[in-house]
Structures are given as structure tokens and as C-alpha cells.
Amino acid sequence: MDVLDATGTKLSRKIYLKCFLCGCQAQECASSRKHSVSELQAYIAKEINNYLSEDAKILVSMESKSF
């Protein structure tokens, strides 16, 4: 998605984002479709599961301290 200023000039980032899957410049991976949708979905699902797993560990730890 392009972001424009009030005069219609395209704004760009000074620092480029890294691709989650390979670490290259994310814009290049996206524009070339270097990775499949299923690869991206698998990565996102894994990260969500990792986050939820860590969150659950914290909750269990907090519950065990309250007894």
C-alpha cells in the first residue's frame, strides 16, 4: 500500500522491514511473491501458537503463586 502526503507525493520508509521467512527486504519478497500464501499462513499460525503457549505459561505461573 502506498502512503501519500497532502500533496500526493509518495512517502517511503527510511528503514526497510525484513521478511519473516527469509530475512530479506520484505518489500522485495512481497512484490516478487517469493513465498507462497501457505508458507506465510504456516509461519503466522506457528507464531500465534508460540505466543499463546507463552501466555498460557505465564497464566499458569501466576495462578500457582496465588494459592
Q: What is the pLDDT of residues 1-46, one digit of tens each?
A: 678 889 988 887 778 899 999 999 998 999 999 999 999 999 999 9
Is 0.95 surpassed by the pTM of this model? no
Average pLDDT over residues 46-57: 82
- With a cut of 80, say whether residue 62 has pLDDT above it: no
Contact assessment for residue 2 and residue 10, using Cβ atoms and an 8 Å cutoff: yes
pLDDT band at residue 61 using 50, 70 and 90 as cut-offs: low
Q: Annotate the chain with DSSP letters as a single string.
A: --EE-TTSPEE--SSPPBPTTT-SBHHHHHHHT-S-HHHHHHHHHHHHHHHHHHHHHHHHHHHHHT-
Q: How far apart are CA 53 and CA 51, in angstroms?
A: 5
